[in-house]
Amino acid sequence: MLTDIWTVMRKELKEISNIRERIGLISILFLIASFGILLPWQMGRSWIESPITLIYWAWLPLFLVITVVADSFAGERERHTLETLLASRLPDQAILFGKLLAALTYGVGLTWISLLVGLITINLGHSPGSLIFYPPDVAFAVLSISLLSGGLAAGAGVLVSLRVKTVQQATQLLSIAVMVLIFLPTFGLQMLPAAWQERLLKSVANWDVTQTVLTVIVILIIIDSILIGAAMRRFQRTRLISE
């Protein structure tokens, strides 16, 4: 099974690489420069010490995975290669998890590269003379949340890509979902009365950071599991071929 998953995953990573080449490497380099050089240089040591930066590391893999996962099944359908893939000897789970892990590897991989570049930037520009590393609790939180955030996008993306007929449809649906996920809480907070906003902000300020991070991790694990389970139930060869 693992060999079959790796076969599909390698095929998908090659296709993702081809897609990125058509779009251009400049956008990827700009992204790494922004999260690995510009922001760390501006924020200084707080970039690797403040829990606020978790917001960046939750958003980045989400965005990156969505840019490629829409192509997972909808792209095969558009290129008329889905039937050939489904007619192969590969098990259902190998096909599904190979595609899911490829998108996750791309998004989380670039995120962790940005993390490493950011650490180098901090040491070059803000080091007092000794090496600076991410505190263990921050490193655990960043790695866990970025991985699970990418898993959220991969699970939802594969599920959507299984249901729609074109990459454009999948991309639009996933983009709308991300916009709602990001902007709804922001605008919702702004619509609250000023007294409620102040009370909510004071409550958030009193949260225990470690407990909050662990709660977020547990919630993401549950959501990821539900999405992947739904994708596994949706993946039916006969149904996909007839669609």
Gap between the Cα atoms of 150 and 49, Å rounded: 22
pLDDT of residue 104: 93
Q: Which parts of the chain register pLDDT below 70?
A: 19-24, 127-128, 184-190, 192, 196-198, 200-207, 239-243
Residue 164 Rama label (left phi>0; alpha psi -120 to 50; beta): beta
Q: What is the pLDDT of residues 17-47, one digit of tens each?
A: 776 665 567 778 888 888 888 888 888 888 8
| Residue 65 near residue 103, CB atoms below 8 Å | yes
Number of structural domains the chain divides into: 1
Gap between the Cα atoms of 165 and 78, Å rounded: 7
Angstrom CA distances, 202 to 122, 195, 197, 199, stand at 31, 11, 9, 5
| Residue 106 near residue 10, CB atoms below 8 Å | no
Rounded CA Rg of the chain: 20
| Residue at 138: amino acid letter | V
Boundaries of domain holding 65: 2-242
Closest CA to 97 of 105, 87, 88, 89: 105
Where does the chain show beta strands of DSSP type E? none
Q: What is the pLDDT of residues 92-111, one digit of tens each?
A: 888 899 999 999 999 999 99
Gap between the Cα atoms of 44 and 9, Å rounded: 37
The model carries a pTM of 0.85
Gap between the Cα atoms of 76 and 54, Å rounded: 34
Closest CA to 151 of 102, 215, 192: 102
Specify the residue for token string 């290669």: 81
Q: At a CB cut-off of 8 Å and minimum separation 6, what does 10 contact?
A: none
| Residue at 181: amino acid letter | L
Q: At a CB cut-off of 8 Å and minimum separation 6, what does 217 contact?
A: 141, 144, 145, 148
Closest CA to 154 of 79, 99, 202: 99
